[in-house]
DNA sequence: CTGCATCCTGCGCGATACTG
DNA sequence: CAGTATCGCGCAGGATGCAG
C-alpha cells in the first residue's frame, strides 16, 4: 500500500506541508485557538499582514477544511472564522512550532552572531 | 520582563517562524534526522529542490545553529551536514508537522473537493 | 465591515555556465 | 563534488479603489 511522502515532489503532501508551515497559517490558527474571531480582529492580531494576503490565506484554510467561515447578513456585515475539528487538531503541532521559536530565539540569535563574526573577519 | 511574540511584526521570532516552517527546512531537517548527509545526498532526497535553494537553505540553517557544515579537503571534495543539538531539538516539532500532513492529507483533499464542488456549481 | 478587482513592483527561484 | 555568479522570468504580495 502506498504511503504519502512529501519528499516526492509530486506528492500532494508537499504542497500541504508548505501551506501549514506558512507563517501566516501558524499565526492565524494560533489566534483562533481560543475561539472564533472576525475578519478584522484576525487582521489586528496578526500584525503586518495585508488585507489581500489575509483574505487569500483565510480562503485557503477554509477550502482545506481547517476553518469555517460564517457570514451574518447584518449591517454592517459580520463574518466569523472558527477552527474546525481538523483545524483544532492542526493547532497542536503549530503551537509547538510557535513555542519553539519563542524558546530558542536567543540561541539562534547567538548562533547568528557567532556565525557573522566568524564570516566577517573584523571589517573588510 | 518582555516575552518574544511572533504576532508582533518586528519581533525576530516572526522571521524565525517563517524559516523553520519553510517546507525545505522541514524536509532537510527531517532528512538529517538519521545522521549526517552530504550535499548531493540531501539534494537527492529532497526531490525537486534546486541546487541554488538547497545551498541557500543549508547556509541559513548553519548560520542559525541548526546544522553544522564539515568540509573534507579530499578529492573530490566532500561536505557533510549534520544536525546540532539545537537542530535535533527542532526536528521534533517539525516531524509532527510532517506526520500531520501525511495523516490528514486525505481529509484535506476531501474538504477541497467538497469546497470546489460547492463553489463550482456544475459548469457555468 | 468584509471583501474583490486591478495595477505594479520586487525578488525568489530556476536555468545555465564557470571555479576549486 | 560542492559550490559561486549571472541573467531573466514569474508571481507573491502591497497599495489603491470599488461593491454589497
Could you please report the per-residue DSSP string of chain A? Answer: -----TTSTT-HHHHHHHHHHSHHHHHHHHHGGGS-EEHHHHHHHSTT--HHHHHHHHHHHHHTTSEEEEEE--SS-EEEEEE-HHHHHHHHHHHHHHHHHHHHHHHHHHHHHHHHHHHS-S--
Option in B17, B97, B115 nearest A23 (CB): B17
pLDDT score of B1: 83
pLDDT score of B123: 46
Q: How many Å does it take to go from CA A64 to C1' D20?
A: 26
The more confidently predicted of residues B88 and B5 is: B88
Option in B46, B89, B101 nearest A13 (CB): B101
Nucleotide C3's nearest residue (CA vs C1') is A55
Q: Please write the tens of the pLDDT for every residue from B34-68.
A: 999 999 999 999 999 999 999 999 999 999 999 99
Residue A83 pLDDT greater than 90, yes or no:
yes
Return the percentage of chain A with pLDDT > 90, whole number: 86
| Cα–Cα distance, A7 to A5 (Å, whole number) | 5
Quick check: A22 contacting B, CB < 8 Å?
Answer: yes
Test A18 with B23 for CB contact under 8 angstroms. Answer: yes
First to last CA, chain A: 58
Q: How far is B58 from chain A (nearest CA, A)?
A: 13
CA–centroid distance for A78 within its chain: 23
Q: How many CB pairs under 8 A join A and B?
A: 150
Task: Say yes or no: Cβ of B9 under 7 A from any atom of strand C.
Answer: no
Residues 23-42 of A with CB under 7 A from strand D: none
| Cα–Cα distance, A98 to A82 (Å, whole number) | 19
The residues, any chain, with a CB within 8 Å of residue B92's CB and separated by 6 or more, are: A96
Option in B23, B31, B112 nearest A64 (CB): B112
The more confidently predicted of residues B121 and A44 is: A44
pLDDT score of A2: 82
Residue A124 pLDDT greater than 50, yes or no:
no
pLDDT score of B124: 38
Nearest to B95 by CA among B15, B12, B32, B5: B32
Task: Say yes or no: Cβ of A78 under 7 A from any atom of strand C.
Answer: yes
Q: Which nucleotides of C are covered by protein (CB under 7 A)?
A: 1-6, 13-17, 20
Test B17 with A5 for CB contact under 8 angstroms. Answer: no
Contacts of A102 in chain B (CB under 8 A): 3-6, 13
Range A12-119: architecture per CATH: Orthogonal Bundle (1.10)
pLDDT score of A122: 57
Q: Please write the tens of the pLDDT for every residue from A33-68.
A: 999 999 999 999 999 999 999 999 999 999 999 999
Nucleotide C20's nearest residue (CA vs C1') is B77
Contacts of A12 in chain B (CB under 8 A): 105, 109
Amino acid at each position: 500500500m502506498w504511503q504519502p511522502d512529501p519528499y516526492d515532489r509530486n506528492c500532494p503532501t508537499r504542497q500541504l506541508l508548505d501551506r501549514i508551515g506558512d507563517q501566516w497559517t501558524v499565526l492565524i490558527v494560533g489566534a483562533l485557538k481560543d475561539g472564533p474571531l472576525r475578519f478584522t480582529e484576525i487582521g489586528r492580531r496578526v500584525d503586518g499582514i495585508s488585507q489581500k494576503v489575509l483574505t487569500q490565506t483565510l480562503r485557503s484554510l477554509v477550502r482545506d477544511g481547517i476553518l469555517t467561515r460564517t457570514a451574518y447578513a447584518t449591517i454592517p456585515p459580520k463574518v466569523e472564522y472558527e477552527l474546525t475539528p481538523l483545524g483544532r487538531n492542526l493547532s497542536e503541532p503549530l503551537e509547538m512550532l510557535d513555542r519553539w521559536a519563542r524558546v530558542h530565539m536567543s540561541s539562534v540569535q547567538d548562533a547568528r552572531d557567532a556565525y557573522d563574526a566568524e564570516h566577517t573577519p573584523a571589517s573588510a
